[in-house]
Every structure is written in C-alpha cells, then in structure tokens.
Amino acid sequence: MIERYEIRFSGSGGQGMILAGIIMAEAASIYGTKNAAQSQSYGPESRGGASRAEVIIADAGIDIDYPKATSIDCMLALTQTACTSYYSDIKKDGILLIDEDEVTDIPEGDFKVVKYPILRAAREEIGKSIVGNIISLGMITELTGIVTREEIEQAVLSRVPKPFLELNKSALALGFEKAAELKKAL
C-alpha cells in the first residue's frame, strides 16, 4: 500500500485540470478508503492561462499545515508551458504523462515519460475535445493504480450531467485502454 502519493495535473485554463484534481481526490477519499488533499493554482485568465491542480493521496493523515505536493509521483502535462514550468518536482522513477502533440520539447530526468495524443484522441475517437481531462484520469488510474477503475468511474460519473454520462464513460474507458497498452513499454 502507499504511504503518500502526489499527482499534478497541468495544462491551460479550460482544459479541466482543476476538475480532474477534484475528481481524483474524491475517487481516493469518497469512493475509496484513502485520505486526499487537493489544491489548485491558475492564472487570472479563465481560458488559456496556466492551470494546475495537485492531489496528495495517503493511507494515513495528511499534514493540514502544509498539504502541498512537493515530490510528484505522477504529472500530467497537456501543454508545453505546463510541462516546462512544473516538471522539475517529479521524483526519481516518477511518471510524466504528456500530450505528445502539444509537448514536443520533452524534459530529461530520472522519470518515465508516457506519450499519447490525449486531446486529439478526445476529438477524433470520442468526438469532444472537452473530455481530454477524463481520458487523462483513466490513463493515470491505469498507470499508477493509486485508485481503482471503479473508484475513478464513480467519481467521474458523480460529477457529470446525465446527458453526458456515456460520453464520459467512453473517455474513461479509452484512457484505461491506451494506458494499459503504453504501460507494457515502461
């Protein structure tokens, strides 16, 4: 079991990074049996500015005096700016999940890089670019095992309006499937 696991979701405003962080924290703590703390940071722009969310998941309590992620186990980067700005906190043997269409200058480090065209897959395979964050949640769940597929699915479906349940289920399933394929190469 884990002691403490830190995840950073990063991209630009409008890509759903804050929502992804909230959903991951809920999957761990409401639908799972772990503790979670979630924080967020974004620029003054509502769309297009830098955006990130961090989630700490732990078996035991999380220090409420400093519930910040400082040693990232898994980071998602949907933009080059986000990747360049935030990757330095990824710890040894951590995971950097990037959108390979958007992040072309891949940083070097003592971590694993997983590349997939997340936003293109959302547009072309699911039909809506807005579910890129949900595909990412499926991928992170599959790559890390930090929450179960059932826990993340419950958390996602509790957050989306009924008309969009199937769309989000499809996006999550695509994330599970693609990450399972990519995990074999790690």
Per domain, the residue ranges of the chain are 4-183
Which pLDDT value is given to residue 2? 65
Q: Cα separation of 79 and 101, whole Å?
A: 9
Residue 10 pLDDT > 90: yes
- Whole-structure pTM value: 0.93
| 3-class DSSP state of 52 | strand
CATH number, span 4-183: 3.40.920.10
Mean pLDDT of the chain: 91
- Tens of pLDDT, residue by residue over 95-139, are 999 999 999 999 999 999 999 999 999 999 999 999 999 999 999
Task: Give the number of other CB atoms < 10 A from CB of residue 114.
Answer: 21
Residue 1 clears pLDDT 60, i.e. is over it: no
Question: How far does CA 30 lie from the centroid of its chain?
Answer: 17
Place of tokens 């694993």: 112
CB distance 32 to 99 below 8 Å: no
Bridge-based pairing state of the strands 90-99 and 50-58: unpaired
Contact 25, 33 (CB under 8 A): no
pLDDT at 62 over 70: no
